[in-house]
């Protein structure tokens, strides 16, 4: 028996080929109906998830980061001066 059944299921049980999921019969025998329903539900969700190529989304991400630089307190020390939660003194070990 496998110690971590879910790890076994995710690493060895299925492969996506042309949108069809092939479950190995040995793993299906070990799983009960609620587990199989959860697996099918999870895989349907993953198939329905809209994916985009990183070549298209990286430019938007870089633009979003560059737009946020002036308002980022970690990159703009002037903004840290107005933050009341920043400690003014140095760390003291008692």
Confidence of residue 64 (pLDDT cuts 50, 70, 90): very high
- Residue 23 falls within a domain, yes or no? yes
Number of domains the chain is built from: 1
- Residue 30 falls within a domain, yes or no? yes
Average pLDDT, whole number, for the chain? 75
| Cβ atoms within 10 Å, residue 39 | 20
Burial of 9 (0-12, 13-18, 19+ CB in 10 A): buried
- Whole-number Cα distances in Å, 10 to 15, 32, 90: 9, 16, 48
- Residue 82 falls within a domain, yes or no? no
Q: Which domain holds residue 38?
A: 5-48
- Residue 93 falls within a domain, yes or no? no
- Residue 24 falls within a domain, yes or no? yes
- Residue 41 falls within a domain, yes or no? yes
- Residue 56 falls within a domain, yes or no? no
Does pLDDT of 12 surpass 50?
no
């Amino acid at each position: 028996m496998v110690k971590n059944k879910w790890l076994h299921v995710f690493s060895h049980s299925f492969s996506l080929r042309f949108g069809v999921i092939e479950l190995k019969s040995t793993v299906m025998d070990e799983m009960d109906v609620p587990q199989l329903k959860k697996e099918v539900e999870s895989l349907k969700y993953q198939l329905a998830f809209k994916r985009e190529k990183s070549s298209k989304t990286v430019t938007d991400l870089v633009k979003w980061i560059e737009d946020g630089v002036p308002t980022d307190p970690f990159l703009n020390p002037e903004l840290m001066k107005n933050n009341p939660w920043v400690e003014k003194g140095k760390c003291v070990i008692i």
